[in-house]
Structure 1
Amino acid sequence: MGGIELGFLDVAHLYLFGGVKFLHLLLLLMGLDIITGIFKALKNGNLWSRKSLFGYARKILVLIVIIVANIIDQVLSLGGTLTFATVLFYIANEALSITENMAELEVLVPQNLAEKLKVIESTKHEKESLATEVLDELVGSNVDKKLKDGDK
């Protein structure tokens, strides 16, 4: 009976995170992103528990996506390719976020990279304003003002 339980744990471990390359690096980068994000929020004076909570939830969702990718990888016998690509994508995403936070904290960042981050940041704000405009049309009033008033 003890062998059955251990066998079940081995299968669960294999399908959850078994053999996922660079997972430890991703977890380290996630931690660094959280730390640099907190410092950035403190510097800008906008450390909100709700905003932080959503950030932590996103990190958990990333881990869920990796678990799903690993399950698909195991079922289709892809030899870890899909999971490895997924983890690499999120490693790049976390590294970019850390670099963006460091630039915001006025830590020296290479000039070319800083310019690219400004382009990415302006594109992100354009998408947010488009979403606000769509919500304005659907709701029929100024959603951005309501959101700001609701966060106080």
Structure 2
Amino acid sequence: MDNMVDVLRIAAAGIGGIVTYIWGPWDALIIALVAMVVIDYITGVIKAAVQGKLSSLVGFKGLLKKVAIFLLVAVGVMVDRVIPATNEAVRSAVIFFYIANEGLSILENAGELGLPLPAALKKSLEKMQDKEEKPDIDSDTDIEQ
């Protein structure tokens, strides 16, 4: 039995290493993005059910879009790796963008369900989306063009 526990621990460590390599550290940004993606999907399903428009095809397409979000985060991580002076700024910018985008979509879904929308939350998400975060590249770094 101890061998099985050891195998599971090694497998979990390996999977954790792969996930961290692909999407960067498991920090507050990625946790927030995962939460927003899940909440947006759930509120979208609720909205579709209430409106009588629930469709497995539409739901599947929605899941594919969510997967694409995480693929773009992985691209941001890879860009940060090849341009080390960015200090994870590209990954962060991609995540900030999608947190704001998903948050606004959640508010839209809630609004269509007839829920009142907190103005402060909407303003904060709009500011996040409008904020063009530039990668923090050290100006002394030589990058050939």
Give TM-score, length-normalised by structure 2: 0.66
Partner of residue 17, structure 1: 23
Q: CA RMSD in A?
A: 2.5
Determine what percentage of the aligned residue pairs are the same residue: 31
TM score, norm. by length of structure 1: 0.63
1:40 is aligned with what amino acid?
Answer: K
Q: Which residue of 1 aligns with 2:63?
A: 56
The answer as to whether partners of 2:20 and 2:26 remain within 8 angstroms in 1 is no
- Offset at 1:93? 0.3
Q: Look up the equivalent residue of 2:36 and give its one-letter code.
A: L
Native 8 Å contact 1:20 1:83 kept in 2:
no
**Between Structure 1 and Structure 2, which shows a larger proportion of helix residues?**
1
Residues 23-73 of structure 1: per-residue CA shift (max 9 Å, x gap): 011100111111111110011100010000000000000000000110111
Unaligned runs of 5+ in 2: 1-13, 123-145
- Deviation by residue 1:71-117 (Cα, 9 ceiling, x = unmatched): 11111101100000100000000000000000000011257999xxx
Q: Where in structure 1 do 4 or more consecutive aligned residues deviate above 6 Å? A: 8-11, 111-114
Task: Return the alpha-carbon distance in structure 2 between the equivalents of residues 104 and 87 of structure 1.
Answer: 25
Supply the distance in 2 between the matched residues of 1:74 and 1:11 (Cα, whole angstroms).
16
Structure 1 runs not aligned, ≥5 long: 1-7, 115-152
